[in-house]
Structure 1
Amino acid sequence: MYWVDFDKYFCFSIRLSLTIMKLFSSTQIKEIDEYSIVHEPITSVALMERVAEILAHAILDIYPHVNRFLVFCGPGNNGGDGLAVARLLALQGKCLDIVLLYDQEKFSTDTLINYKRLKKTSCVTLHRIDKLEDLPELGPQDVVIDAMFGTGLSRPLNGWPLEVVTYINSCQAEVVSIDMPSGLPGEDCSGFPSDGIVCATNTLTLQFPKLSFFFPENEKYVGLFQVLPIGLHPQALTTIPTPYQFITASNVKPLLPKRATFGHKGTFGHLLLIAGSKGMMGASVLSARAACRAGVGLVTSHVPSGQGQIVQIAVPEVLVVEDMDTVCFSSISNIKTYSAIAVGPGISKHQKARVALRQLLKEVESPLLLDADALNIIAEERDMLDMLPPNTILTPHPKELSRLVGDWSNSFQRLELQQAFALKYQVVLLCKGAFTTIALPNGDLLFNSTGNSGMATGGTGDVLSGIIGGLLAQGLTSVDAAILGVYLHGLAGDISAGEIGQQALTASDLVNNLGKAWLSILK
């Protein structure tokens, strides 16, 4: 198995194999399991054994020198996974203390089978505990395996399980959660109290990530998560519909624009970049530099009168057109000559810019990207939303997004608002951040796998506008340009962080490492 290891960079760290990953609901996961059991065919207990072997291998890989593991098991199949893992670790010479939260009469069929198998294994101590004072002591040298509750959880924990979770979280031991941190729902987390969820150091999730892993408020519960393929039936994975998908390298490689052997600069498109205003010309420079690194043949930068020299000196590859106004974008002509247009970084919300943007929306026929101040203007003059051409790409950060779609109380609600907006206006709507999300006009929503918190610095959004604009100009569809653009952008950030660290990362570093990002995908 070939792994990409992003754990140095992500806000919650992650390791994943290079496969297309869909994100399924808890109900769909159960359906996929059942389909695999019938069509592989394989018995459910044999599938549990296969899962346990994969989990045990991953745990030993993370903790090769740990000798004692404490396994907390619930009554369902998540607990059965834990019991099977405990047996396999014991066979490797590890010492296992198993805490059973329930009597065996409440065990699922497969959990009961693994309980009986485990009782025949040496180096294992089984505890049926229902009092807090009877729980084994946990120290920093210990590792807890959380196998209490998985994706089937439908309500917040209470009573004895909640006490156990509170106890685990109060200890200094590292925690490995199987599939899900116990107490964390797979999708909507509203109504689930923060003190009723295991805070895992590592989460070993099965076959695909879970939607709630991508919510900022769940970082402290999920920790580093690793996706473990367990051989579920591919037919089920491809045919069961879901609006959610995780973008990986295998998604983006087919999107790379072809480079014609006999191509010339006209072959690879012409981007018009309307960016910058007096005192904000850095946005124009950064987006122009990024566009040039995105493979486009020509870039024309439209800037206020008297500001052109800044761009020409900083980016000599770029053509410059000066506006009639000395402060901001106020008018544009000959827009039909361009393959794509990107508008917004640093243009200001000046009244003249508002009028010019409105006129542009009336006339534009080329693929269009809107960012930053262009979005802020539209959010304040909402009739412009109905003027957006189909498949326009909008690239807000969370605050800009809230101005467009309204406020949200949690991340799941934000996804719903983002999806609804993209569907209503038939646009491609991004939300920049960790695991940048892309809402498509058909209602689907994609999560990006690249990027790191070092990119949370001024100018990186301008770089993204230049990259996606350059891809649009080369003829990529809006959806493909957005997917490839955010992946390249994040990958350049990961390469930069690997070279100089997240703390020192600047927007210019992303531009400088775009070449390496391209080469990484092309390998």
Structure 2
Amino acid sequence: PPVVNSGDCVIDGLFGAGLKEPLTGGFASLVRYINESGAFVISIDIPSGLFGEWNPEASEDRIVKARLTLSFQMPKLAFFFAENAKFTGETKILDIRLHPRAIAETETCYYLTTAENIARNIRHSRPKFSDKRDYGHLLLAAGQYAMMGAAVLSAKAALHSGVGLVSVHSPRCANLILQTAVPEAIFSPDKGENHIEEIPVHPRYSAIAIGPGMGCNETSVSALMHLVKEIRQPLVLDADALNCIAREQSLLRYLPSHTILTPHIHELERMFGPMTDDASRLKCITHVATKYDIIVVLKGANTAIALPDGTIHFNSTGNPGMATAGSGDVLTGIIGSLLSQGYSPEDAAIIGVYLHGVAGDIAARESGEEYITASDIINHLGLAFKQIKSYQV
């Protein structure tokens, strides 16, 4: 082969997305030679040796490591898995003008949420003669002693996402904090002084969100068990509510249909056991969503939303600056707010995740990824709504 060094550029078009077997022989040797050269590698459509979907036997010395992948029309499923980032590098999607009807008629379980999808489904106006009760009443069960920040962030996010009323159910020690930090919210005191011991079930609530900063001691697990057996309202579970499920797996059997779970990868693995990579996590949430008739929002880059019908919706907004404390609490508030306003659980999850990402992207553009905190995401929700509603469908 020609001499290739770090000052060169290699255009990789050896194999495409249809590859079925790992590279061997001379092809594998060529891949190793390219990878060891230090050259700037641009892969066309997909790095040679990488399968378009699942890569259970991926070997670093048999897959080209690109710095830039120029893929055609839409991303490959493999691009959404963190373990493949070392092969794809930065990815850019090139429109090669495949016919929209042909794309629409192709069967798939996987979808990428775009601005057009959200603009079609978000509500663009409010009636002039409307009342706060027209926009729902969210019950947020959150917080414990020394963890009230999560409840504050979640409540603020809900209020800034359009809900009419928010009641925050927290231990009695939270009274002064919540009344001061979120005066727009109603404080619903628990009988417990430092942690939640019971969660009220009342028909006046349009939706219920549980978990941020709540803790997962025995009384919290018991309170959650009682609630899921009794409620009829839409429900979103996050953070310590998921840790309660990890402690008491039987809770899954009692979850109301289309309950939304919003785990990050560590919470997912606490509930369902260790997993080696993002591909296995995706298969896990698909199985769980269909088995229990629920919605699982696996948070991360390109957050994956598994629906009960077996489909997966990947998010296209957000940035690494959103990997910060409290970001998930904000998402819980947004999704709970949308549920309270009457959005279906599927739409609340998909729109909520997209909106959360747009707010984070606006914050990053203004101040940089390193600067972002959860409060910055909340503070940019208004601009996020405006951006989505201004999109011309």
**CA displacement at 1:201 relative to structure 2:** 1.6
**CA displacement at 1:136 relative to structure 2:** 3.5
Q: Is 1:147–2:13 an aligned residue pair?
A: yes
Partner of residue 312, structure 1? 179
Partner of residue 247, structure 1? 113
Q: Is 1:467–2:334 an aligned residue pair?
A: yes
**CA displacement at 1:399 relative to structure 2:** 0.9
Question: What does 1:97-108 correspond to in 2, within 5 Å?
Answer: none
Partner of residue 256, structure 1? 122
TM-score (norm 1): 0.73
Q: Deviations over 1:157-177 (max 9, x none)?
A: 121111221222222332211
Cα pair 2:199 2:224 within 8 Å, conserved: no
Q: Deviations over 1:293-344 (max 9, x none)?
A: 1111111111111312101111111111111111111123352110100001
SS at 1:307's partner residue?
helix
Cα pair 2:197 2:223 within 8 Å, conserved: yes
Whole-Å Cα distance in 2 between the matches of residues 319 and 154 of structure 1?
58
Q: Is 1:265–2:139 an aligned residue pair?
A: no
Question: What does 1:392-411 correspond to in 2, within 5 Å?
Answer: 392-411=259-278
SS at 2:370's partner residue?
coil
Cα pair 1:405 1:421 within 8 Å, conserved: no
What amino acid sits opposite 2:109 in the alignment?
Answer: P
Partner of residue 369, structure 1? 236
Partner of residue 358, structure 1? 225
What amino acid sits opposite 2:114 in the alignment?
Answer: T
Partner of residue 231, structure 1? 97
SS at 1:267's partner residue?
helix
Q: Is 1:188–2:48 an aligned residue pair?
A: no
- Percent of aligned pairs with the same amino acid: 49
Aligned residues: 389
Q: Deviations over 1:248-276 (max 9, x none)?
A: 11111122134222211011111111110
Q: Deviations over 1:175-205 (max 9, x none)?
A: 2111001111111111121121111121111
Partner of residue 338, structure 1? 205
Q: Is 1:214–2:80 an aligned residue pair?
A: yes
Partner of residue 169, structure 2? 302
**CA displacement at 1:235 relative to structure 2:** 2.6
SS at 1:469's partner residue?
helix
Whole-Å Cα distance in 1 between the matches of residues 93 and 36 of structure 2?
27
Q: Is 1:200–2:66 an aligned residue pair?
A: yes
**Residues 414 and 332 of structure 1: is their aligned pair in 2 closer, same or farther, counting only changes over 3 Å?**
closer
Whole-Å Cα distance in 2 between the matches of residues 260 and 378 of structure 1?
40
SS at 1:337's partner residue?
coil
Whole-Å Cα distance in 2 between the matches of residues 268 and 496 of structure 1?
27
SS at 1:300's partner residue?
strand
Question: What does 1:489-500 correspond to in 2, within 5 Å?
Answer: 489-500=356-367
**CA displacement at 1:238 relative to structure 2:** 1.1
Whole-Å Cα distance in 2 between the matches of residues 423 and 379 of structure 1?
19
Cα pair 2:4 2:34 within 8 Å, conserved: no
Whole-Å Cα distance in 2 between the matches of residues 378 and 410 of structure 1?
22
**Residues 473 and 161 of structure 1: is their aligned pair in 2 closer, same or farther, counting only changes over 3 Å?**
same
What amino acid sits opposite 1:297 in the alignment?
Answer: G
What amino acid sits opposite 2:183 in the alignment?
Answer: P
Cα pair 2:206 2:234 within 8 Å, conserved: yes
Partner of residue 306, structure 2? 439
Question: What does 1:65-76 correspond to in 2, within 5 Å?
Answer: none
**CA displacement at 1:139 relative to structure 2:** 4.0
Alignment equivalent of 2:37, drawn from 164, 171, 175? 171
Whole-Å Cα distance in 1 between the matches of residues 229 and 20 of structure 2?
49
**CA displacement at 1:237 relative to structure 2:** 1.1
Cα pair 2:166 2:186 within 8 Å, conserved: yes
Task: Mark the runs of 5 or more structure 2 residues left unpaired by the alignment.
Answer: none
Larger mean CA deviation between 213-222 and 324-333 belongs to 324-333
Alignment equivalent of 1:503, drawn from 370, 383, 388? 370
What amino acid sits opposite 1:225 in the alignment?
Answer: T
Cα pair 1:495 1:517 within 8 Å, conserved: yes
**CA displacement at 1:500 relative to structure 2:** 1.8
SS at 1:204's partner residue?
strand
Whole-Å Cα distance in 2 between the matches of residues 405 and 239 of structure 1?
35
What amino acid sits opposite 1:158 in the alignment?
Answer: T
SS at 1:306's partner residue?
helix
What amino acid sits opposite 2:129 in the alignment?
Answer: F
Whole-Å Cα distance in 2 between the matches of residues 172 and 334 of structure 1?
62
- Cα RMSD over matched residues? 1.3
Cα pair 1:457 1:506 within 8 Å, conserved: yes
**Residues 353 and 137 of structure 1: is their aligned pair in 2 closer, same or farther, counting only changes over 3 Å?**
closer
Q: Is 1:279–2:146 an aligned residue pair?
A: yes
What amino acid sits opposite 1:411 in the alignment?
Answer: D
**CA displacement at 1:370 relative to structure 2:** 0.5
Alignment equivalent of 2:246, drawn from 359, 373, 379? 379
Q: Deviations over 1:12-66 (max 9, x none)?
A: xxxxxxxxxxxxxxxxxxxxxxxxxxxxxxxxxxxxxxxxxxxxxxxxxxxxxxx
Question: What does 1:14-25 correspond to in 2, within 5 Å?
Answer: none
SS at 2:132's partner residue?
coil
User: Which has the higher Rg, Structure 1 or Structure 2?
Assistant: 1
What amino acid sits opposite 2:217 in the alignment?
Answer: H
Cα pair 1:370 1:395 within 8 Å, conserved: yes
What amino acid sits opposite 1:457 in the alignment?
Answer: T
Question: What does 1:60-139 correspond to in 2, within 5 Å?
Answer: 134-139=1-6
Whole-Å Cα distance in 2 between the matches of residues 408 and 355 of structure 1?
28
Whole-Å Cα distance in 2 between the matches of residues 334 and 159 of structure 1?
65
Partner of residue 191, structure 2? 324
Cα pair 1:370 1:394 within 8 Å, conserved: yes
Cα pair 1:190 1:410 within 8 Å, conserved: no
What amino acid sits opposite 2:383 in the alignment?
Answer: K
What amino acid sits opposite 2:307 in the alignment?
Answer: L
Cα pair 1:155 1:192 within 8 Å, conserved: no
Whole-Å Cα distance in 2 between the matches of residues 173 and 382 of structure 1?
50
Whole-Å Cα distance in 2 between the matches of residues 248 and 427 of structure 1?
23
SS at 1:423's partner residue?
helix
Partner of residue 297, structure 2? 430
Cα pair 1:175 1:201 within 8 Å, conserved: yes
Q: Deviations over 1:450-480 (max 9, x none)?
A: 1111111211110000000000000000000
